Structure 1
Amino acid sequence: MVDPAFVRTMARYNAWQNESLMAAADGLTDAERRLDRGAFFKSIHGTFNHLLWGDETWLSRLTGSAKPPVSGRDSVIYVDDWSAFCARRRERDAAILAWADAVEADWLRGTLIWYFGRAGREIGKPRAFVIAHMFNHQTHHRGQIHAMLTAAGARPEDTDLLLVDEAR
């Protein structure tokens, strides 16, 4: 069940895993991070960028923060510089943690309505469902990044959700 404790746990997991993957990616060259590795968003850098774009898009819908200035199709080139990307990723993870700390059970029972660009219309879904989707989207793409990093010889930390409280 999606409740405030789940939201906070997943926010901590998100931040922990992003730090792990960025640390592993730091050991690669910029060219290695940008190499097309056959993933949906091509490279490690492109997939990281898409994930950041997605998180900023969801934060804008959930909190009213600014929407990303690029569309989903341009998400792979969102933040070009690796250092700037890492700084922005940490800022967004802090924003997700702060948002998660403020989530209340009553709010989760409501409906989120937003304009869904790919569908070309407004849609609404239960907030708890949307939150589960957001965290699932993060986990999905981090799994892709983890696989690409491992194939490149980097060593990210374990990804087991059960370890989140021990790792942070």
Structure 2
Amino acid sequence: MNQFSRYLIAQAYNNAWANHRLLRACAQLSQEEFELATRTSFFPSIKMTLNHILTVDWFYIDAMERAARGDEPHPDYCAAFFEPEEPFATCAELWAAQKLCDQRLIAYCRRLDEATLARDVGILRDDGLKLDTPARLLAHLFQHQIHHRGQVHAMLAGTGVAPPQLDEFYSRGESEDRAPDFAELGFTEADVWGTSAP
């Protein structure tokens, strides 16, 4: 496996780890704080923002999985992934769905090879078929997630729940700090970095 593919795998694991930390904090909110309390951000609630992260994940992961299988783009992506706009009412439901989605993204990145990275991903839009590479779509998806997780992090600062630290990554010297989260998620350092991980 080349270094670029290994990097994408690490990013997928980091994404799952950050979602886990953020959603664990959000799960401490009351339903009113999660859903109804008006927040200042792109979306006016924590519930709306977290649902948006998930539905966009569904959309792009489906497109990349279809391309990897050699299938056609999804013919009705709006109905499939964005209707309803907020598919989950509670944090517990959303957290479970996000975890499954994160596992799909990790699995997709672990299967990446030169042929898959070179194959265009097709996405049907209102103005026709759009083609892009898996690398560009993954970069876009990771950035999208970081962007909106940051908004939720800021919104949590206006509640009684302390926002979790999300800017840690995978420095060797911090492996003990992430060990409890990794144990909850079933991750190992070798999963992220390969058999040569310390």
TM-score interval (norm. to shorter): 0.7 to 0.9
> 1:25 corresponds to which letter in structure 2?
C
Whole-angstrom CA distance in 1 between matches of 2:149 and 2:142: 11
Return closer, same or farther for 1:142/1:32 CA change in 2, 3 Å cut-off: same
Whole-angstrom CA distance in 2 between matches of 1:36 and 1:6: 37
Percent identity over the alignment is 25
Tell me the TM-score normalised to structure 2 length: 0.73
Return closer, same or farther for 1:88/1:114 CA change in 2, 3 Å cut-off: same
> 2:49 corresponds to which letter in structure 1?
T
In the alignment, is the contact (CA less than 8 A) between 1:70 and 1:78 conserved in 2? no
Count residues in correspondence: 164
Return closer, same or farther for 1:163/1:147 CA change in 2, 3 Å cut-off: farther
Whole-angstrom CA distance in 1 between matches of 2:125 and 2:21: 31
Superimposed CA distance per residue, residues 27-73 of structure 1 (whole angstroms, 9 cap, x where no aligned partner):
11011011220221211111000000000001110113985745648
What residue ranges of structure 2 are gaps of 5+ in the alignment?
Answer: 183-198
Residue 9 of structure 2 corresponds to: 8
In the alignment, is the contact (CA less than 8 A) between 2:26 and 2:91 conserved in 1? no
1:101 and 2:110 are equivalent in the alignment: yes
Question: 1:142 offset after TM fit, Å?
Answer: 0.6
> 1:39 corresponds to which letter in structure 2?
S
> 1:143 corresponds to which letter in structure 2?
G
Higher radius of gyration, 1 or 2: 2
Q: Could you say what secondary structure the match of 1:79 adopts?
A: coil
Residue 28 of structure 1 corresponds to: 29
> 1:59 corresponds to which letter in structure 2?
I
Residue 41 of structure 1 corresponds to: 43
Q: Could you say what secondary structure the match of 2:145 adopts?
A: helix
Return closer, same or farther for 1:53/1:123 CA change in 2, 3 Å cut-off: same
Whole-angstrom CA distance in 1 between matches of 2:171 and 2:128: 37
Q: Which has the higher contact order (CA 8 A, sep 6+)?
A: 1
Whole-angstrom CA distance in 2 between matches of 1:153 and 1:62: 39
In the alignment, is the contact (CA less than 8 A) between 2:21 and 2:166 conserved in 1? no
Whole-angstrom CA distance in 1 between matches of 2:25 and 2:158: 12
C-alpha RMSD over aligned residues? 2.4
